[in-house]
């Protein structure tokens, strides 16, 4: 019965992941539409008031374009949000598995070495010991390198995947893209290429793929972010049910 409850929890956590990612993408689409509507309205207003504008002082500051921010800059935030949701999901599922393992007295699914701070364990009752231990384990897990996290999760769920598998690669690629924007304003470095073992970061565009090599700044597209969301949806199924 405990295992069945845990499976329900896993499904609910995956549902939350997908809903949050969908909401991020929908917000982008709504924002993009609103910016374009506003831009059209501003253009119409500028056209209708051209006589007044012509007589204005040449030193008067012009109103910047509403779409000067651009879809790509907004998509950087959306992509980062999706990657963060994926990381939080992995951490949450790991906590569930630790709690489940303690309830069933079967630690065989867990990593052989799982360091936690014993001061984080609440000894008031068996239930609080399990819960606080699981939370402490999650805290340590959250600081692991992304590749270690995925490897541990695949081992726990008996998923046989290789690092070169398409879905695994795409998710790792986007974790690195998020890091590139955070640490180097989106410009690819040689070390970033070594991390994915490719000569470029390939970004999907309408009708093709754009390659970004060392020294080039990545320009994200809605096609690429939509594909990320679809890969995340399919790959996360691996961590929905304990085998």
What are the pLDDT digits (tens) for 220-237?
999 999 999 999 999 999
Q: Residue 162's pLDDT is what?
A: 79
Instruction: State percent of the chain over pLDDT 70.
Output: 80
CA dihedral 237, 241, 242, 243 (to 10 degrees): -80
Angle between helices 2-48 and 222-235 (to 10 degrees): 170
Considering the chain, what is the average pLDDT of its residues? 85
Residues 6+ apart with CB under 8 A from 150: 90, 168, 171, 172
In angstroms, the Cα distances linking 219 to 6, 17, 72, 95, 216 are 40, 25, 6, 35, 9
Identify any residues that bridge with 203 across adjacent strands, giving them in sequence order: 210
- The pLDDT of 22-41, averaged and rounded, is 71
What does the radius of gyration of the chain's CA atoms come to, in whole angstroms? Answer: 23
pLDDT cut 90: percent of the chain above it: 67
pLDDT beyond 90 at 117: no
Determine the Cα–Cα distance for residues 141 and 96; give it in Å rounded to an integer: 12
pLDDT of res. 232: 96
Entry pTM: 0.81
> Domain spans of the chain?
2-39+69-239
Nearest to 83 by CA among 229, 236, 230, 227: 229
């Amino acid at each position: 019965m405990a295992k069945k409850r845990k499976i329900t929890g896993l499904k609910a956590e995956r549902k939350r992941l997908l809903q949050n990612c969908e909401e991020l993408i929908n917000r982008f689409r709504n924002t993009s539409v609103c910016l374009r509507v506003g831009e059209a309205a501003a253009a119409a207003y500028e056209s209708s008031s051209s006589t007044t504008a012509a007589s204005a002082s040449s030193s008067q500051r012009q109103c910047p374009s509403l779409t000067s921010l651009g879809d790509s800059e907004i998509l950087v935030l959306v992509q980062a949000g999706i990657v963060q949701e994926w990381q939080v999901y992995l951490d949450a599922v790991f906590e569930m598995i630790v709690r489940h393992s303690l309830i069933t007295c079967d630690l065989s699914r867990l990593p052989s070495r799982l360091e936690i701070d014993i001061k984080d364990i609440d000894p008031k009752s068996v239930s609080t010991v399990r819960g606080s231990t699981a939370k402490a384990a999650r805290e340590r897990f959250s600081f692991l390198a992304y590749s270690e996290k995925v490897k541990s999760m695949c081992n726990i769920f008996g998923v046989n995947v290789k690092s070169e598998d398409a879905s695994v690669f795409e998710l790792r690629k986007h974790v690195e893209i998020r890091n590139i924007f955070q640490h180097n304003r989106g410009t690819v470095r040689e070390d970033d290429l070594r991390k994915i073992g490719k000569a470029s970061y390939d970004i999907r565009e309408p009708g093709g793929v754009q390659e970004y090599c060392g020294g080039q700044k990545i320009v994200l597209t809605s096609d690429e972010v939509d594909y990320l969301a679809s890969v995340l949806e399919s790959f996360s199924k691996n961590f929905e049910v304990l085998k």
